Structure 1
Amino acid sequence: MTKSDWMLNRRQLVGMMGVSLAGLAVRPGFALGAGEIPIGMVLPFTGATGPYGPDMKKAADLVVKTINDAGGVLGGRKLQLYIEDSETSATTSVTATRKLLDVNKVEVVGGFWGSPEALAAKPLILAASKVQMVSASADGITDGDNKGLVYRFQAKSSQWGPAGAKVMTSLNLKKVAILAQQNPFVVAMIEPFKQEMTKRGGTVVEVVMYNPNQASYRAEVEKAFGSEPDGVFCASLLTDFVAIAKEAYRGGFRSKIVALGTGADADGAFIKSVPNEVSEGIHHLQPGPPLESAAYRKFVKEMGAPDGTVFLFAGNTHDQICVTALAMEHAKSTEAAVWVKSIRDVCNPPGENVDDIVRALEMVRAGKKINFVGAGATVDFNDRGDQLNRSFVHQVIRSGKNQIVEIVA
C-alpha cells in the first residue's frame, strides 16, 4: 500500500466510524530509502477548513512525482513527502509537527492553511532549526526573530483588509459593518480595512466580533445587520459563515454581504451547504493565483481540471515543494539552515523567468540565474519571508455558481 493509499483509507475509515484522525495519525516507523530527502506538510482534511486539504495534497503529490520521475535533486536523491492532518486545530497541528520533526526527520514543514495552526507549530520548527512554509495569513507568522526560516506563500492578513475595502467601495457600499471571527488571521485585517474605507470616503459603523464554534450567531448577526448598513464585511470561516448567511437570510436583512473566500467559497463547499436563495448575490474575495499566467494554466491542466478552474490554495503547496527543491539544488545541501538562504536566489529577479520545475532544476544545476514563477503566485519574497505581488480574486455567487467580477491588486 502506498502512503497516498494509506491516507485515503484513513479518511474513509474516519468517515465510516467517526473516529478522530488524531488517533490514527501514527504510522509504523520505517527507514528512509537510501538518499531520500524527507519533507513534511500539515494540511487540513477535517474541521472547518477540511475542504481545502485534498487539492493541496494532490498538488504536492503531483509535483513531488514530477521531480522524482525526472531524477530527483542533488544527483538523484528522491523527495519523500509526509503529510499529516491538522484537523483545523492548533493543538493537533503541534502534535503533527512534532511527529514530522522527531519521527520523519523532515527538513521543512509546509502546508499550514490556518494561522492558529501555523503560529502554534512555529516555535517547534524554529527550535529544531528547520524551515516552515505556510499558506496562512496572520501577520504574526513572519514577525519576530524567525532566523530566516519562515516563508509565507500567501497574502498577509493586513493586506486582506484593504482589498476588502476596495471591493466594498467598488460596489458603492459606503456605510458598512464588520462581522468577524475572533482569531489572529482576522483581527490583523480589521484596522487596515477601516483605514482603507476612510481613505475611500466610507465609514465603518459597527464592528461585531464572535468566537468560533458558537452554537448560534443570531445575536451577532442582528447587531451587525440591524442598523441597516449598505454592506457587511463578514470575516468568517466556512462553518460559521454557513450559519451566519442562513441567519441573515432568515432575518430578511438587505445589506449586501462581502465575505472572505475562506467562508463564502471554501472551494465550492459553501455553495453546496446552503440553498441558492441564501448564497445568491454574496460577494467574496480571496488571494488568488495569477489566473491568466502560463504557469497557472499549466497547473490547472496538471490537476486534471477544466480551463478556468480557480484553485485558491493548491498552487501554494505546489510552489512550496518547487521552491524547496530548487533551493536545495542551488545550495547543494539538504541542511535547512543552509538551503533556506538560497530561496530568494532562485525565486526573485533578476534571472530568467521559468515556470517548469524540471527545466528550472536543470538550469540551476548548470549555474544559470533563474527567477522561478510559481502556480500560486510569482513566489517573490522580501527579507521577512513574506510573499510579494499577491492579488485578490473578487467573485460573486449567481444561481449557485461563482462568477469572477475582477482582480484586485
Structure 2
Amino acid sequence: MIRNLRAPLAVTAAVLALAACSSGGTTAGTVTSGSASAPQGDGTLTLGTVLPQTGSLAYLGPPMFGGVDLARKEINEAGGVLGKPVAKFDTDSGDTTTNIASQSVDKLLTQKVDAIVGAASSSVSESIIDKITRAKVVQFSPANTSDKFTTIKDDGLYFRTAPPDKLQGRVLGDLVVADGNDTIGILAMQDSYGSGLADQVTKTAEEGGGKVVERVDYDPKAADFSADVAKIKAANPKGIVLIGFEETSKVVQELVKQGLTSDRHKWYMVDGNMSNTNFVKAPKGTLDGVKGTLPGAEAPGAFQERLLQVNPEITEYTYAAESYDAVTLLALAAEAAKSDAGPAIAGKLVEVSKGGTKCTGFKECVDLVRAGTDIDYDGVSGPVDFNDVGDPSVATIGVYQYGANNKFNAAKAIEYRRGNIDG
C-alpha cells in the first residue's frame, strides 16, 4: 500500500538560526578558491550515489534512488548539462557495521565522478567525507541531519537538503511536552545521529518544563534490548522517545513485552524509524496513536506519480524529494559555473538556491541560467535556500501520527526560517 506521505494540514511559522558559530578550518558551503590542484572537469557532469541498498536504512534506498533517477531523467530529457547527458554510477552505502561505503567511494573516485549523492546515515557520511572532499568532489546528502555537518571541515564541498537535527529535536521536544508528558524516557541508538538528536530533545523538553528521567544510548546491533528497556521501565516515564533505525522494531517488541505499551505510555519516533514497512508484522494497534517527526516538506501526489514511473515498486517516499532536489541543484550549479568540476559546482550551489528569480524544475531554471539570469530554485522538498555553511536555511518538520493499522499520516508541519540568531 502506498502511503500518502508528507501532506501537511497546518503550518506554524517560527524563527530559528540554522548556522552555528564556528572558528577555524573551512566549513560547509565556504569554498576554498585558488587551489592549483583544483580539477578542471571533462565536460560531462558525472554523479555517483552512495545510498542504502543494504543495512539498517535499506528501506530508504528505493525512494532516494528513485529521486535521483527521476531528476537525472528529467535533466537529460531537457538536454542534459553543458550540452551532454548527465552520467551516473550507483553504489551501496551499507551502514556503520561495514566498510561498504568507503569501498563504494573508492570505486566512484576511480570513475571520476564530480559529485556524490549520499550517504543517508550521518555516521556513514562522517566516515567518508574526508576521502570525498580531499578528492575535490562535492558530497551532497539528501538525508544527513547530524548537527556536526554544520561546522565540519570540508573545504566547502559538503551540502545537504535535509535540515539539521536541532530543528527536528526542537519540534519533537516541544511536541512531547505539549502532549502533557512531564516525565520522559529516551531510547536512542548510540551514534552521532541518535545521541545528537537525543541531546536536543532533552534540552528542548526540559526547557519546556519536562524532565528526562531516564536516557539509554544503546548499541543498535545488540542481540537483545531487554536490559535497555528495563531501565526505562524502572523510571516509569509518561512519554517514551525512540530514536533509531530499523532495530526500533525489536525495541518496540521489548517495550510491549515489558508492559510499556503505547496505550499506557506515549511513544514518539523520528525520521530514522518512522516507516510504514518496518512495523507491518506488529499486531494491529501496536502503534496506534504513536507520533513522530520527519524533516522535509510535502512530497506532492504528482511527484509521487512521477517517481512511480521510474520505479513502480516504491512504497516509501521519505527523502525522495530531497534526493531529487540534490541532483537538480547540482545540475543547475554546473550550468551556472559552466563547469562540471567539483569545486566550481560547489561555488555556485548557494547562488542558484536563493536570491534570484524564482523557478521550479530543471528546464525552467536552466533556461534562465543560460540567459544569464540569477535564479532561486524552489524544490519539491521546499525552498532549500542554502546558508553559507551548506545547510538549508528554510526547513519544514512534519509531525505524523500512526493509526490502528500501524501506518501513519500527516498531522501538521512546522516551518523554520533563519533569523538573526547566528550563535
Q: TM-score range by the shorter chain?
A: 0.7 to 0.9
State which of 400, 405, 409 in structure 1 corresponds to 2:411.
Answer: 405
Alignment match, 2:175: 167
From 118, 122, 137, give the equivalent of 2:129: 122
Aligned to 2:374: 369
Residue 224 (structure 1) aligns with: 232
Give 1 or 2: higher helix fraction.
1
Q: CA RMSD in A?
A: 1.9
User: Is this contact kept in 2: 1:43–1:84, CA < 8 A?
Assistant: yes
What's the % identity of the aligned pairs? Answer: 26
Superposed displacement of residue 297, structure 1: 4.6
Contact 2:47 2:89 in 1 (8 A): yes
TM-score w.r.t. length of structure 2: 0.82
Q: Secondary structure at the match of 1:303?
A: helix
Alignment TM-score, normalising by the size of structure 1? 0.85
Of 266, 276, 286, 1:256 maps to 266
Instruction: Give distance in 1, aligned partners of 2:101 and 2:281.
Output: 26
Contact preservation (8 Å) 1:377, 1:390: yes
Equivalent-residue separation in structure 1 for 2:121 and 2:201 (angstroms): 20
Deviations 1:101-136 (A, max 9, x none): 12x100101121001110111010111011111121
Q: Distance in 2 between matches of 1:69 and 1:112?
A: 26
Correspondence 1:341 to 2:351: no
Greater relative contact order (CA < 8 Å, ≥ 6 in sequence) = 2
Query: Are the equivalent residues in 2 in contact too, given 1:118–1:141 (CA < 8 A)?
Result: no
CA gap of 1:52–1:286, structure 2 versus 1, over 3 A, is same
What is the aligned counterpart of 1:106 among 113, 125, 128?
113
- What does 1:156-235 correspond to in 2, within 5 Å? 156-235=164-243
Q: Is this contact kept in 2: 1:225–1:232, CA < 8 A?
A: no
Distance 1:222 1:408 in 2: 34
2:46 aligned partner = 38
Q: CA deviation at 1:261?
A: 3.0
Q: Secondary structure at the match of 1:270?
A: coil
C-alpha separation between the residues in 2 aligned to 1:86 and 1:304?
Answer: 23
Question: Structure 2 CA distance, aligned partners of 1:159 and 1:356?
Answer: 27
Distance in 2 (CA, whole Å) between partners of 1:146 and 1:298 is 36
Alignment of 1:219-298 (within 5 A): 219-238=227-246, 240-253=247-260, 254-265=264-275, 268-290=276-298, 296-298=300-302
Report the CA distance between 1:215 and its aligned residue: 0.6
CA–CA distance in structure 1, aligned partners of residues 308 and 191 of structure 2: 35
Preserved CA contact (<8 Å) 1:242 1:273: no
Aligned residue in 2 for 1:299? 303
Letter in structure 2 aligned against 1:163: V
Pick from 381, 385, 393: which aligns with 1:380? 385
CA contact (8 A) 2:166 2:197 kept: yes
| 2:364 corresponds to which of 352, 359, 368 | 359
Q: 1:323 aligns with which of 300, 324, 329?
A: 329
Maintained 8 Å contact 2:102/2:128? yes
Which ranges of structure 1 fall in alignment gaps of 5 or more residues? 1-33
Contact 1:108-1:336 within 8 A present in 2 as well: yes
Contact 1:289/1:312, CA 8 A, preserved across alignment: no
One-letter code aligned to 2:270:
L
Where 1:269 maps in the other structure, the secondary structure is coil
Given residue 269 of structure 1, which amino acid in structure 2 is its aligned partner?
A: T
Preserved CA contact (<8 Å) 1:86 1:96 = yes
Matched, 1:311 2:317: yes
Deviations 1:133-168, CA, capped at 9 Å, x for gaps:
112112223423321111012121222221211220
Q: Does the aligned pair in 2 maintain the 1:142–1:152 contact within 8 Å?
A: no
Q: In the TM superposition, what is the alpha-carbon distance from 1:87 to its structure 2 partner?
A: 1.8
Aligned partners of 1:117 and 1:92: how far apart in 2? 10
Instruction: Please list every run of 5 or more consecutive structure 2 residues that lacks an aligned counterpart in the other structure.
Output: 1-41, 416-423
Q: Which residue of 1 aligns with 2:104?
A: 96
Secondary structure at the counterpart of residue 57 of structure 1: helix
